[in-house]
Amino acid sequence: MTAAPAALAALLPTPGAVILTGAYGSGKTECAMALALALAAAGPVTLVDLDVVTPYFRALDHRAALAARGVRVVAPDGRLAHNDAPALPPAAAAALIHPRGRTIADLGGDPAGAVVLAQFASRLSACARWAVVNFARPTTATLDAAAALLAQVAAATRLPLTGLVSNTHLGAETTPADLADGLARCRALGDSLGVPVVLQCAPAGCAAPAGPPLLAITPRLRRPWE
């Protein structure tokens, strides 16, 4: 069961902003939407969709459903929604630099997608940046691979990493043992980087180990072939 809104809200002061990064397949966008919905119970939330790397899996496509539950979605409109140019829409910049309530940004997880924030780095010093880590995915299957990718994203954004989100899962096949192993490995990664594990995610209904606040994930994104 997802942690109480107050426990999640304590992770992100208000007004405040957190930028979520994560490799392709990490579950970053699902995490961003679930966190936004959970925090909406504790006050105003804005979700900024800046993921130009994986246009098939975007919070933008769920704007109406999120808005109905109290989450304001900011993203490029129309043809600009899938534009690969490294440009930050004015409304997105304002939501991050001068957040009203809490702001969550869903940022592309590789250097090419993350570089969009580099030009604003000096104005985002108060933003937290969390990396969603899924050790069940090829690009982050080992501690060394995950650490290398996180270093590349940090260089691209010019923003330090401030927290890790443990999200190792196998979809509907996830077991409590998978979650415990993923959290242990995420903690080891955090120890090597000097960064805490601030949150753990788990498929809704799957028992998670004791540790950081839990965010239960009910998948909302559909694959193009579904």
DSSP character string of 44-63: -EEEEEE--S-TTS-GGGGH
DSSP state of 221: -
Residue 174 resides in a domain: yes
Instruction: Note every long-range contact of 75-83, with CB atoms under 8 Å and residues 24 or more positions apart, other chains counting.
Output: 75/48, 75/49, 75/50, 81/55, 82/52, 82/55, 83/52
Query: Binning pLDDT at 50, 70 and 90, where does residue 31 land?
Result: very high
What is the pLDDT at residue 120? 82
Specify the CATH number for the domain of residue 11.
3.40.50.300
Q: What 3-state DSSP class applies to 20?
A: strand
Q: What 3-state DSSP class applies to 173?
A: helix
What is the pLDDT at residue 79? 46
Yes or no: say if 15 and 42 are a contact pair by the CB < 8 Å rule.
Answer: no
Residue 131 resides in a domain: yes
What is the pLDDT at residue 81? 46
pLDDT, greater one: 113 or 216: 216
pLDDT, greater one: 6 or 221: 6
Read off the pTM: 0.89
What is the pLDDT at residue 224? 42
Residue 68 resides in a domain: yes
- Overall domain count for the chain: 1
Residue 224 resides in a domain: no
pLDDT, greater one: 219 or 200: 200
Q: State the residue range of the domain holding 180.
A: 5-217
What is the pLDDT at residue 80? 45
**pLDDT by residue (tens digit) across 165-184?**
999 999 889 999 999 999 99
Residue 139 resides in a domain: yes
Nearest to 29 by CA among 2, 5, 9, 59: 59
What is the pLDDT at residue 78? 47
Residue 210 resides in a domain: yes
What is the pLDDT at residue 60? 62
What is the pLDDT at residue 87? 59
Query: Binning pLDDT at 50, 70 and 90, where does residue 7 land?
Result: confident
Yes or no: say if 101 and 135 are a contact pair by the CB < 8 Å rule.
Answer: no
DSSP character string of 197-218: EEEEEEETTS---SSSPEEEE-
For CA atoms 73, 146, 141, 191, the dihedral sign is negative
Residue 187 resides in a domain: yes
**pLDDT by residue (tens digit) across 45-95?**
999 988 765 554 566 667 778 888 999 998 765 444 445 555 567 788 888
CB atoms near residue 8 (< 10 Å): 21
Residue 223 resides in a domain: no
